[in-house]
Structures are given as structure tokens and as C-alpha cells.
Amino acid sequence: MNNHQTALVLGATGGIGGAIAAALLRHGWQIRGLARDAAQARRTAPQQLAGIQWIAGNAMQRDAVVRAADGAAVIVHAVNPPGYRDWDKCVLPMMANTIAAARAAGGARVVLPGTIYNFNPSTSAVVDGDTAQLPRSRKGMVRVAMERQLLGAAPEVPSLILRAGDFFGPGARSSWFAQAMVKPGRPLRRIVNPARGSGHSWAYLPDLAEAFARLLDAPQRLRVIECLQFEGLVDTHGHALIDALNRSAGRTLPVFRFPWWLMQALAPFGGFPREAADIASSWQNPMRLDNRRLEELIGPEPRTALDEAVHQTLVNLGCVPQCQERAPLVTAMMR
């Protein structure tokens, strides 16, 4: 347990940032959270984030990030522009501000939740620390540039990158699970399956956050630049989540294919269709993340039972009541 170190979490009001902050609090860290409206963040933060010291500031303002990071050993960079607007224009300046703050703090370690978009899914069936980064999407190119910023700051600024598949779990509202597969706030009546091929890789946020906390509890074991993979759920045939959703609902639900053709048609107009079309290939060619180095450092990867993980996600989204019992396996028909 770490009973004295301080971490600044950028993006603590979001899904992955909030999950990492909660995990670090459980591990005894002192946590600061940067928020544009600190008073609102303090009022609306869930119970598991009650111990955060909220600081008013914007990740696009370098001076604000530097002040918030003063004395911190770790800066978790889990921030995105509001509503993901101007993502490609804001992301790199925000990372530059984080690196500047880490340098000013005397070499704080920058922690970055990574993605699979850095890689070409048609040629990288398995991703490890040596896999060539050859992105096919705009999002992937920006992600590669972010990691290059961290590489360029070493060894003065150490870093930890932990890549994972698509998120699901409590708090993961900007996710394919919450935005496509189910409808938050409504009872489960149908499922939309985005998979275009033979499966997909998923990461349950509480498990991923726990892995981050265990890594940061033993900084002496980390390389100056530590780049790891979180395996999570490898849904090999593309039906594991569907079956778990059926069990949580207690009945067979109709399953509809995600309208990728419509995303391609509407992509020129921007917004969600453009972003979806940009990373469509990652749903057609599944990738598995090789977690051997991660498990060398922390032991077995944290793994919540799938049914429990899906059920808690649905409870958090308001799709099923907390007390609802999960049913035996039922198989859905794709439409």
C-alpha cells in the first residue's frame, strides 16, 4: 500500500480517469483531480471519489496543470476535450502540458491509458511491446504522436502506457458498450452488436484501473518507459458479451447488427459517424493484447467474472435493477 504518494489525475470526472483515481485511493494514494468546475466535480463525484482534492483548472492551460502537479509523483493523463470536440487539435497540446508539468514536478511519471488504434488490425492479430505502430485511422495517428511525445521526454520524464481494448464498466459512458450495444436508462429490450468479424477485445474498467494501481505501487520495478498490454476479455467468437447480456436480462434478446454502412455514408458530415467509420477496421479484424510483461510485474491480471462485470455495468447504466438475478445461458438470434 502507498500511504504518502500524490497523484494528479487529469480526467478524473471521466470513465477511465475516475476508475484509476478510485483504485489509487483504495491503495492509499493522495489524489488531486483537475476540473474546469471544481465545485461541481466535488458535489457530483461518486462515493468512491470522495477523497479527491479537486483543483479548478483546464488541461489546455499549461500553468494550471503545472500548479496542480506540484509535488506529485504521478500524473494520470486520462483527459479528453469536452464532448470530444476538436479532439485532433487539442490532444497533443494537452499531452505537451502534462509533460511540462511532470518535468516541473521533478520528473513525475506520466501514466497514459492506451488503445489498440495505434496498430493496423489487418496485420497485428497480437499486440505486444514490440509490435510496429502502423495505424490506419486518424485517431490512431494522433495516439502514436502522443506516445512519441512521451518517448521524447524520457528519461527526464518517465512514463507508463497500459493499452487495453474497448471499455465497459461503471462510469464508462463514452464507450461502444454504452453508446451502441444498449440504451442507458432503459430496460434491456434488444442488443446492437458492433462486431464485424470473429470477435473483439474488451476491458472492464475496475480491473484495468486495479492493474494501473498495482503497477504504480511498485515504481522501482518499472522501466523509464514502460509500455504494457492489458488482455482483458478476448471475445474470440463475438458472442461472450451478448450471452452475458442475455443472462443479465433473464431472457433471450433480439440482436441487431450495428449499421456500419450508414456510418460510412454519413462520415463526410462529421460527428459520431465520422469517428466510427475511422476505426471500423478494428471491429473487423480482432486483436489480442499480450499481457506477459504486465503479469511479470503484478502477477495475474485482475479479472472480474464476466457475468458480474456485465451486470454491474448494466446496473450503473440504469438498464437493470441491482437486485435482478442473472439467468442461465440463452442464445440470441442475429438480425
Q: How far apart are the first and last CA of the chain?
A: 49
Alpha carbon distance 92, 88 (integer Å) = 8
Give yes or no for a contact between 65 and 97, defined as CB atoms under 8 angstroms apart: yes
| Residue 111 grid cell | 501514466
Pick from 153, 151, 215, 201: nearest CA to 20 = 215
Predicted confidence at residue 329, as pLDDT, reads 43
Give yes or no for a contact between 196 and 3, defined as CB atoms under 8 angstroms apart: no
Alpha carbon distance 248, 75 (integer Å) = 37
Predicted confidence at residue 89, as pLDDT, reads 81
Measuring CA to CA, how many Å separate 289 from each of 125, 200, 232?
9, 11, 8
Give yes or no for a contact between 91 and 114, defined as CB atoms under 8 angstroms apart: no
- What are the residue boundaries of the structural domains of the chain, listed by start? 6-168+201-236+285-304
Torsion sign across C-alpha atoms 308, 312, 315, 321: positive
Give per-10-residue mean pLDDT for the chain (335 aa).
Answer: 78 95 97 94 91 95 97 95 70 96 98 93 88 89 95 97 95 88 93 82 97 96 97 89 93 92 89 83 87 98 97 93 55 40
CB neighbourhood size of 155 (10 A) = 10
Give yes or no for a contact between 59 and 98, defined as CB atoms under 8 angstroms apart: yes
For the domain made up of 6-168+201-236+285-304, the CATH class stated in words is alpha beta
Predicted confidence at residue 21, as pLDDT, reads 97
Cell 506520466 locates to 110
Consecutive H or E run containing 272: helix 271-278
| Residue 189 grid cell | 429490450
Alpha carbon distance 61, 224 (integer Å) = 26
Predicted confidence at residue 84, as pLDDT, reads 59
